[in-house]
Amino acid sequence: MDSDTIIACATPPGEGGIGILRLSGENAVDWLQLFFKPVARVALLESHRLYLGSFVDNAGVLIDEVMSVVMRAPRSYTREDVVEVHCHGGMVVMRRILDQFVDAGARLARPGEFTLRAFLNGRLDLSRAEAVIDLIRARSDSAGRIAAAQLDGSVSRTIHEFQMQIADLLALIEAHVDFPEEDIEFADQQQLLRDAGAVQGKIDHILNNFDSGRILREGLSVLILGRPNVGKSSLLNVLLGEARAIVTDVPGTTRDTIEENLVLSGVPLRLVDTAGVRDTLDPVEAEGVARAKRKIESADLVLLVIDGSCPVTAEDLLALEACRSAKVLLVRNKADLPESSLDQRFSLFPVVTISTRSGVGIEPLKKSIVRLIGGDQPSGEAMVDVIFSDRRHREALVRCSESISRFVEALSSGLSPEFLALDLREALQALGEITGETTPEHILERIFTRFCIGK
Amino acid sequence: MTTYGSEYRVIVVGGGHAGCEAALASARLGCKTLLLNMSLDAVAQMSCNPAIGGLAKGHLVREIDALGGEMGTNIDATGIQFRILNTRKGPAVRASRAQADRRLYAERMRRVVENYPLLDLKHGVVTRLIIKNNQVCGVETQEGIVFLARAVVLTTGTFMRGLMHVGLSHFSGGRAGEPASEGLSDFLRSLGMKVGRLKTGTPARLNRRSIDFSRLEPQYGDDPPQPFSFLTKKLDRPQVPCYITYTNNKTHDLIRSGLDRSPLFSGVIEGVGARYCPSIEDKVVRFPEKDHHQIFLEPEGLTCSEIYPNGVSTSLPSDIQLAFLRSIVGLENVEVMRPGYAIEYDYIDPIQLYPSLETKAVEGLYHAGQINGTSGYEEAGAQGLIAGANAALKTKGEPPLVIGRDQGYVGVLIDDLVNRGTSEPYRMFTSRAEYRLLLREDNADQRLTPMGHAVGLVSELRWRHFEEKMANLRRGEERLREVRVSGADRVSIERLNLGELKNGASLLELLRRPELEIGDLLFLDETLAGLDTEVLELLEVATKYEGYIKRQMEQVERFRRTEGVLIPEGFNYDIVSGFSTEVQEKLKKICPRTLGQAARIPGVTPAAIAVLSVLLRRG
């Protein structure tokens, strides 16, 4: 399989603890030495020994004090050279360290890839095959959901635009190679340089502003859903610890969605309070309900709130129906009032019982939210995927930008188009992780649409 | 039903470009082979333009030649104009193209086939196959004659249920003046194969005497002409020019006036045509802003009267054809010898084949050429050679010859077909090859002749020639490394215009300089000067493009890692819970032979490949 040197975050994220980044592959040790400056001067990092030192960026500026360990092949988990960097687990620091390695050439590991390598390299017993498959599948599914949730994000959309623009460039180049006999005019070098420069400018602009990223900036979306007046807005306020949403006893007060940011156990969240779900004739409120339903599709978690003190109503069922395909945590509010029995249609979900009035159950609720968003995995690996998912976008753009630089250089030195195509193909391949593959068919399609070609 | 007395090892159905290569390859491997054609007089016909080669297609011909095929030798012997395209670009995308004397090309190929040991050419219109236990064992012709064999190669071209269109008239036929083949595609459908319908077309043929060439720009071939075959030393046939003219607005108006009687635009034609081979009416409609389209007038032979107008393929009614042609400069008084036409025909989706080109449905049955949805003589010939060789190898109990995507355009072609299938006529382009910089015309023999030799396709003569060339290449590499120009050698330094050369330099280091060519260095070493131009070019390419070649070699190395992981035959995808239903269905349908092939199937995810690699490792 691949022999790339891969990197991933090996510990669940959270404020205050130690965070570990792990690399595996033949370049791992070399790259560590680019950034890690041990306190004690050593000629060689010994295998299986923990060193204290500073981690600097490529300009030599300190990022964090860290401990690093090198585990040389084959005495490592993957039987390849493995490097770990133990840093102060804050997300910002970990992401900056990760970015350094990606800029040096490391590839973000695919779901389950460390374990896959361990298995393929004979480190794990053959009888563990099923377990390895289960891990790969579970983590791929979770990564797939995250990717789907981000498809709508502005970075994803921009990357798709880049793909189109680079594919257009490649089509021009390929037409030049494959159809020398045709009576068509080709773009001149200056035009190609301008087009490539424009794309690269935009990519670099995004890269320069990437450090906050969507997830850290906006958080994972947690949607609060339920029929009117079950206490959704109160729940939002309790979680935030202050009164932000309008709270009244009149059903339907929250007519639009309200969004607030919150950090739980180091995981940045975006709480979204929605209009209550009910059939309504009020056009303003109806619009709110429609928006809520759209939000459900992109939510990382839905808190379905019901009134635990009274039987299920038709509107509760409407809310249930709306979040059928989402990940749901059932929240039974009003524990301060006498409890009514739970309708079995709601018993499929994990449930917490709370009172927004008395504050009962709020801490268990917070724990459940973190656990569910982390994909039920005690290792927290899925949560790492979530938090670092925007790093895949960044990685794709870094590689793409490198390829375009090579293209521009080759073009300026007057190289024949088939060499230029090599660089553009690599640029498209880099984006392919996000956008899907750009096949030769796609390029040919562009050529035939643009040029009148054929005997 | 009569069983024909002698039994063959391999039967090839169809004597076009795929069929001839298939039959010759099978016979070359020592198998008694029968080539059945609908007409003994229509072997190796060029139904469309009288030319061989072009971008990617020239590469295919060089590969056919490197594998011991006939196409290269045949065009060398019958070509009337040879050109290298893209001479101002890098070596990987330079390509040979030649105009053929159509009649001589076909005659010579027929002669080769007829005289080849172990190969019989016979007339026969095959309507069904004889199949026992899912294994092919012969064919039956419309006359009721049965020929038995252990493997069969179908190369049906445009003949299966061929339907020709000129304007709104349509009639059954496989090519101008020849009947269609009825029954065979229905038979294949009855075996559960997916049969599709494609469309292609050809322009009118013009009478040479009615064209005013004095008003047209001639296009000459190269002087001296370069041959296709690695074995051809020199071309000494007379060379003739083509001529260039253009359509104009009047032409386009006339074409538009006939669209209501166009089978293409009135919806009569159902088959899917190729985007890269549009008819002139298609071009006029799709690109209304273009006020002219280029036409090459290609002679169909040295002595024959027909001229092929490349660029105006059409299925418009014949009165419109004549009118629009006569609106073109040089063609004011042109006489049409036969009208252009469109043809629809049945093909079998090639996704139903293994990389050996054997069908998954019937053991011992192989498909090659247009039956697989491809277009082009070269694409057909390349598949024919592989299918014929593999049919023969199968009967000998030997593993099939499968060319990798990193080894040849033949490999790219077949890999694309079997993994992706095709829904329009598939033509080769260099952009389809991800390792394009390595797949050059000049090194086709280095890439493929050893493989061909290993299975027995390459003659002793060719092998000796190849080994000698490789020995010369090694000698040249050695001289480049070892011979040095010392800093004190003022004469040489001055002659090469080097300026300062303090510590001296090897010839290799000098050749790396952009301003020096290998020809400049020959005076420095006698051995080098004594090498063939061919070998010198190889040395130059390897040195000048070292960086890029190395980059592609690294990509190839990655590719080979997964390509080397075999998936056992009959691997059971049902028992695994690790795949989505979609991925599982795709894998079951394609039955990939390697992990790499599985990864190239559209829709198979990296996660599925990871799961598959775990399963294969577990065994």
pLDDT at position A384 is 59
**Cα–Cα distances in Å, from B615 out to A112, A120, B79, B560, B562?**
15, 10, 54, 19, 14
Q: What ipTM was predicted for this assembly?
A: 0.93
Tens digit of pLDDT for each residue in A15-41? 557 889 999 999 999 999 999 999 988
Query: At A200, which amino acid appears?
Result: Q
Q: Is the pLDDT of residue A184 over 80?
A: no
- The partner residue sitting opposite B562, judged by closest CB among A1, A177, A454, is A1
pLDDT at position A246 is 47
Q: Do B607 and A113 touch (CB under 8 A)?
A: no
Tens digit of pLDDT for each residue in A213-237? 455 555 678 888 888 888 888 888 8
Token pair, residue B380, equals 């057909």
pLDDT at position A91 is 72
Q: Do B429 and A132 touch (CB under 8 A)?
A: no
- Pairing mode, strands B169-172 and B365-367: unpaired
Over range B23-41, report the average pLDDT. 97
Provide the pLDDT confidence category of residue A283 given band limits of 50, 70 and 90.
low
pLDDT at position A234 is 86
pLDDT at position A377 is 47
Q: Which residues sit opposite B245 in a β-bridge?
A: B295
- The partner residue sitting opposite B611, judged by closest CB among A133, A417, A419, is A133
Ranges A230-244, A341-355, A367-381, B101-115, most confident: B101-115
Q: Is the pLDDT of residue A256 over 90?
A: no
pLDDT at position B551 is 93
Q: Work out the percent of chain A whose per-residue pLDDT is above 70.
A: 81
Peptide bond into B317 cis (omega under 30): no
Q: Do A452 and B293 touch (CB under 8 A)?
A: yes
Handedness of CA A110, A116, A118, A121 (dihedral sign): negative
**Cα–Cα distances in Å, from B128 out to B22, B140, B153, B187, B394?**
20, 5, 13, 6, 21
Q: Do B89 and A174 touch (CB under 8 A)?
A: no
Q: Is the pLDDT of residue B528 over 70?
A: yes
Tens digit of pLDDT for each residue in B442-466? 999 999 999 999 999 999 999 999 9
Burial A137-171 (b: 16+ CB within 10 A, else e): bbbbebbebbeebbeebebbebbeebbeebbbbbb
Over range B477-488, report the average pLDDT. 94
User: What are the chain B neighbours of A417 within 8 Å (beta carbons)?
Assistant: 89, 93
User: What are the chain A neighbours of B276 within 8 Å (beta carbons)?
Assistant: 444, 448, 453-454
Cβ atoms of residues B94 and B55 within 8 Å: no
User: What are the chain A neighbours of B294 within 8 Å (beta carbons)?
Assistant: 182-183
SS3 sequence, chain A?
CCCCCEEEECCCCCCCCEEEEEEECCCHHHHHHHHEEECCCCCCCCECCEEEEEEECCCCCEEEEEEEEEECCCCCCCCCCEEEEEEECCHHHHHHHHHHHHHHCCEECCCCHHHHHHHHCCCCCHHHHHHHHHHHHHHHHHHHHHHHHHCCCHHHHHHHHHHHHHHHHHHHHHHHHHCCCCCCCCCCHHHHHHHHHHHHHHHHHHHHCCCCHHHHHHCEEEEEECCCCCCHHHHHHHHHCCCCCCCCCCCCCCCCCEEEEEEECCEEEEEEECCCCCCCCCHHHHHHHHHHHHHHHHCCEEEEEEECCCCCCHHHHHHHHHCCCCCEEEEEECCCCCCCCCCHHHCCCCEEECCCCCCCCHHHHHHHHHHHHCCCCCCCHHHHHHHHHHHHHHHHHHHHHHHHHHHHHHHHCCCCHHHHHHHHHHHHHHHHHHHCCCCHHHHHHHHHHHCCCCC
Preferred mutation among A79, A107, A123, A178 to probe B, highest tally of B CBs within 10 A: A178
Q: Do B287 and A416 touch (CB under 8 A)?
A: no
Q: Which of A193-197, A227-231, B399-403, B594-598 has the lowest mean pLDDT?
A: A227-231
- The partner residue sitting opposite A422, judged by closest CB among B437, B602, B617, is B437
pLDDT at position A391 is 82
Over range B366-382, report the average pLDDT. 98
Prediction pTM value: 0.86
Token pair, residue A236, equals 């939002």
pLDDT at position B121 is 97
- The partner residue sitting opposite A119, judged by closest CB among B310, B432, B617, is B617
- The partner residue sitting opposite A455, judged by closest CB among B93, B290, B310, is B310
Strand order in the sheet with A328-333: A258-264, A267-273, A220-225, A301-307, A328-333, A351-353
Token pair, residue A227, equals 């029929």
Provide the pLDDT confidence category of residue A344 given band limits of 50, 70 and 90.
confident
Q: Which of A260-264, A304-308, B523-527 has the lowest mean pLDDT?
A: A260-264
Provide the pLDDT confidence category of residue A257 given band limits of 50, 70 and 90.
low
B577: which residues sit within 8 A by CB, 6+ positions away? A133, A137
Nearest CA in chain A to B545: A419
pLDDT at position A379 is 42
Q: Do B436 and A418 touch (CB under 8 A)?
A: yes
Tens digit of pLDDT for each residue in B216-236? 999 999 999 999 999 999 998
pLDDT at position B152 is 98
Ranges A261-270, B233-242, B499-508, most confident: B233-242
Stronger pLDDT, B168 or A321, i.e. the higher one: B168
Provide the pLDDT confidence category of residue A443 given band limits of 50, 70 and 90.
very high
pLDDT at position A271 is 84
Token pair, residue B481, equals 């490394």
pLDDT at position A288 is 62
**How many CB pairs below 8 Å do chains A and B form together?**
127
Instruction: Return d(Cα A399, Cα A158) in angstroms, integer.
Output: 16
Q: Which of A52-61, A87-96, B59-68 has the lowest mean pLDDT?
A: A87-96
**How high does pLDDT run on average in chain A?**
83
Tens digit of pLDDT for each residue in B141-161? 999 999 999 999 999 999 999
- The dihedrals phi and psi of B581, each to the nearest 5 degrees, come to -60, -40
Tens digit of pLDDT for each residue in B284-311? 999 999 999 999 999 999 999 999 999 9
User: What are the chain A neighbours of B430 within 8 Å (beta carbons)?
Assistant: 177-178, 418
Over range A88-113, report the average pLDDT. 88
